[in-house]
Amino acid sequence: MRSSDCRAVVSVCCVQTVSKGAFHRDLTELRRKIKTTQDETQEYDEEISRMKRQQQELTMLLDERQVLDLG
C-alpha cells in the first residue's frame, strides 16, 4: 500500500456523519454569524467615515488658525 492510499483510508475512517437537522442548525448559526459580521463591518465603516470627516474639519480649522496667527 502506498502512503497516499494509507492517508485516504485514515481520512475516510475519521469522517463523522452529521444529521440533517444538525447540519441545518450549524448552517443557520453560520449564516447568523455572517450577518452579524456584515452588520458590524457596516457600523465600523460608518464610524471610520465619520472620523475621517471630523479629521478633515479639524485640519481645515487648524490651517485657518495658523494662517490667522501668521497674518
pTM of the model: 0.61
Going from N- to C-terminal start, the domains of the chain cover 18-70
Taking only the tens place, the pLDDT of each residue in 37-52 is: 999 999 999 999 999 9
Q: What is the dihedral of CA 24, 26, 29, 31, to 10 degrees?
A: -70
Taking only the tens place, the pLDDT of each residue in 10-23 is: 555 666 888 999 99
Q: What is the dihedral of CA 26, 28, 34, 37, to 10 degrees?
A: -100
- Give residue 68's pLDDT: 83
